[in-house]
Chains A and B, each alone.
Chain A
Amino acid sequence: MVERAARHCVGRREKGTGSVALKKPSDLQEGATATVPVPFFRTKTFHEIPMSTIPITIHVPTVPARRVTAMTTEPRWVRGLLIGTTLVFLGVFLFLPLAAVFAQAMGKGVAAYFHALGDRDALAAIRLTLVVAIIAVPASAMVGLAAAWAIGKFQFVGRSLLITIIDLPFTVSPVIAGLIFVLLFGRQGWLGPWLDAHGIHVIFAVPGIVLATLFVTFPFVAREVIPLMQAQGTEEEEAARVLGASGWQIFRRVTFPNVKWALLYGVILCNARAMGEFGAVSVVSGHIRGCTNTMPLHVEILYNDYEFAAAFAVASLLAVLALVTLVAKSLVKWHVSRQQAAGSRQ
């Protein structure tokens, strides 16, 4: 048993005592002090997860660490080959496109770059993108939190069905996401004649763009916060309730601090999608320059007009946004894992 644990989990060998802080790692090395996280829950698809560590101290006999490592890893040349393959594959598919955006944006010089960004239509596109994000992100965050509270803290019939429905916008093609709003609000749509009669424009106008963005961004916050609220259970909230806290107080003082990093993580991803959405927005926008063009749509128009340098200049702003998103996301992830590592050491 002890041996099994020792092989499975390695960590810091404390001098003299022969005890080891139990962690879960695959690199079995003597004197390693790294805290290696163990995922305590896993979301269904792609986002990684806040991590926790299991701090257990056990007694181990001296384990011949090296031998075990050699048994469960590959020869040096295989490792080199696989790492090389990874670097080349990601280089071609991730780094090269990113580099191409900036190279093409600067293709006609710095002056042309800033001229393209200072263009009236480009500024209008930037403004519209910000407006859409300012509406869509808080809305998704608020409903995501509400959904997480209902799903994470209560047991009711149809819970897993509700979770599946919340994920639905991820499954639907962005083009279909746009089409459904055309069917509802378009001139030939169900509500079209009524809206026309009252002079309200939804399709080929800003409200349509906002609706389509709300559709595609809906799951981002919910799917980050729901699993966390589920995993944390209801004990702390119940204790607060017994101590006389109101619902709002419970949320603000107990639940919110527990989920704020997951919330931030979801908001970051949601914002990236809200600002970058193309397919859904393209269907409902009508592409009216300076009026219903978001940044990605403006990129498309410039590109189709053969104004490549200008198209890539606007695209480079979106690429910077993507990089900022990745950095923010990584910072949140590292912060959470460090915090939990610190929490588990105490």
Chain B
Amino acid sequence: MRISLRRRSVLPGFGLTMGLTLTYLSLIVLIPLAALLLKSTTMEPSRFWQTVTDPRVLASYRLSFTASAVAAAVNAVFGFIVAWTLVRYTFPGKKLIDAMVDLPFALPTAVSGIALTAIYAPGGWLGRWLAPLGIEAAYTPIGITIALTLIGLPFVVRTLQPALADLDPEIEEAAASLGANRLQAFCRVILPAVFPTLLTGFALAFARGLGEYGSVVFIAGNMPMKTEIAPLLIVTKLEQYDVAGATAIAVVMLAASFVLLLAINGLQWWSARHATA
């Protein structure tokens, strides 16, 4: 008996399309990524360790992680409100607003970067109101967080929208008829039901924030130890022809992304199970 890796089908073209996909995927994605890992293995372990634990590099990790986490948390709260109003309420201009949520996907990151800088710079539209309050947004970690909030917003909203739309109104009615007020129904019934989805949206926004470059570099000010994000440090090392150093930092970032990817897949598995339970 011949063991087949593929269930028999009368349709043609499997070999051709699969071959094309795998070839393209290998040439464009897998081999280049493998080159990164291979390059890092050619480094001496002590040198690798020294590079990735350099105080300046550690500061950039800390900044990238903190800013991404704060931005994702802001998005989790406000993105939830946005998704909620878009799913549940009707108001004039709703369709336009709904379409605009995808703007951060469509707008090149460099453009959002310089636009945010112009707005939050000391003389800018919002910067001039923030300055008297003693808040400096541009060229500080606050500015970085603002840029990452903009970038992560659609991830939370678009992840939550279908989940909120799918909620069974019956469970809310049951809660209401059992005497729960609206806030109780929200906290005890609605929020637990969509919590895994909310967490997925948070993780997606966080993962995107970690790797984000274009929108951050303009508003960050890029001062070593203070406002230098990890992706920028990779670019800086490359510009100094320190390819090995850039590779080492990139491998650490890549490992972090993979851990997040695993977490996201786990979350999605959890929320799918949650939904059917």
Q: Quick one: given A150-B14, A150-B17, are A90 and B111 in contact (CB under 8 Å)?
A: no
Interface of B is mostly: helix
Within 8 A of A (CB), among B185-227: 204, 207, 210-214, 218
Please, which residue of chain B has its CB at the minimum distance from the CB of A85? B81
User: A263 an interface residue at 8 Å Cβ cutoff?
Assistant: no
B residues less than 8 Å from A82 (CB atoms): 81, 84-85, 89
Interface size on B, as a range, is: 35 or more
Smallest CB–CB gap between B9 and chain A, Å?
Answer: 6
Choose one: B89, B111, B234, B247; the contact of A83 (CB below 8 Å).
B89
Contacting chain A: which of B44-52, B54-62, B146-154? B146-154
B107 close to A100 (CB less than 8 A): no
Interfacial chain B residues near A79, Cβ < 8 Å: 89
Contact A234 B11 (CB under 8 A): yes
Given known contacts A39-B166, A277-B108, A315-B114, A176 and B99 CB-to-CB distance under 8 angstroms:
no
Nearest Cβ on chain A to B271's Cβ, whole angstroms: 11
B78, A85: Cβ atoms closer than 8 Å: yes
User: In the complex, are the beta carbons of A156 and B7 less than 8 A apart?
Assistant: yes
- Report yes or no: B109 in contact with A98, Cβ–Cβ below 8 A: no
The binding surface of chain A is classed by DSSP as: helix
Chain A residues with CB below 8 A from B133, complex form: none
The 8 closest A-B pairs by CB, nearest first: A173-B211, A276-B108, A278-B214, A279-B213, A247-B12, A180-B32, A97-B115, A322-B106
Give B residues with C-beta under 8 Å from A: 5-7, 9-14, 16-18, 20-21, 24-25, 28-33, 35-36, 39, 78, 81-82, 84-91, 95, 97, 99-112, 114-116, 118-119, 124-126, 146, 149-150, 153-155, 158-159, 161-162, 165-166, 168-170, 172-173, 176-177, 182, 204, 207, 210-214, 218, 231-232, 234-235, 238, 241, 243, 246-247, 250, 253-254, 257-258, 260-261, 265, 268
Please name 28 pairs of A and B residues whose Cβ atoms are closer than 8 Å in the assembled complex, sorted by A: A4-B170, A26-B169, A46-B159, A48-B158, A78-B182, A79-B89, A86-B86, A93-B146, A97-B107, A100-B124, A101-B111, A143-B25, A146-B20, A147-B25, A153-B14, A176-B231, A176-B234, A176-B254, A183-B35, A218-B29, A238-B11, A250-B11, A278-B214, A296-B108, A315-B115, A318-B111, A322-B103, A326-B106
